[in-house]
Amino acid sequence: MTKIDQAFALFDAYNRQSPIHISNSGQDYPIEYFYAIKLHEWIKELRPDATEALLLASRCQHIGRWEIPRDSYPEGRVGYLTWRSDLAKFHAQKAEEILLSIGYDETTIKRVKEIVQKKAIKKDAEVQTMEDALCLLFLQYQYDELIAKQSEEKMIAILQKTLSKMSEQGIQTALTLGYSTEGQRLLKIASS
């Protein structure tokens, strides 16, 4: 087994511990494992020449996310942003521990951590690819479900924020995804 395959196996084993599950195509998956696999697929589609560090980062982007629940932070934007920042550091630390355990070098680990923490977004092509993939993952698997929980105004704002984080390639790819009728309508408003 190659080193990258060892890393994927360890990341996947960790994420399979998620107590939250998702059903997709009639199968049940631990949610963080499912999203890690799908994020990895998006990275490979967006960047067929992806570096090893980007591929590693894609598989551990949200590793162990359930261990720091959102409700352990205050409600509101400040609480949310603090939670997100703490999560990014946690994911980077978990990735580092696993990568060190199988002998990855410091340079690769540092790069994986930079991508996981989304440092220099909009300036760093690999970090931007990660952001595009994360946004596409949201649009593909979470967007239509979120529509039912939010007002139209709030949903349009969420979509505008999502699109503003994406590259032109990411936006063009997003426009090709299949959405519900309401999802298409809101996306059209948000992107115009």
Do 16 and 73 reside in the same domain of the chain?
A: yes
Residue 65 has pLDDT above 90, yes or no: yes
Note down the domain range covering 91.
Answer: 3-121
Do 114 and 151 reside in the same domain of the chain?
A: no
Q: What is the pLDDT of residues 108-154, one digit of tens each?
A: 999 999 999 998 888 999 999 999 999 999 999 999 889 989 899 99
Mark which of 121, 155, 183 sits at the end of a domain.
121
Residue 137 domain flag: no
Do 186 and 107 reside in the same domain of the chain?
A: no
Do 105 and 60 reside in the same domain of the chain?
A: yes
Do 20 and 78 reside in the same domain of the chain?
A: yes
Q: Determine how β-strand 27-30 pairs with β-strand 21-24.
A: antiparallel
Residue 133 domain flag: no
Residue 135 domain flag: no
Residue 132 domain flag: no
Q: What's the pLDDT score for residue 130?
A: 97
Do 42 and 91 reside in the same domain of the chain?
A: yes
Residue keyed to tokens 């630390």: 93
Do 101 and 167 reside in the same domain of the chain?
A: no
Number of domains in the chain: 2
Do 33 and 86 reside in the same domain of the chain?
A: yes
pTM here is 0.92
Q: What is the pLDDT of residues 7-58, one digit of tens each?
A: 999 999 999 999 999 999 999 999 999 999 999 999 999 999 999 999 999 9
Do 79 and 150 reside in the same domain of the chain?
A: no
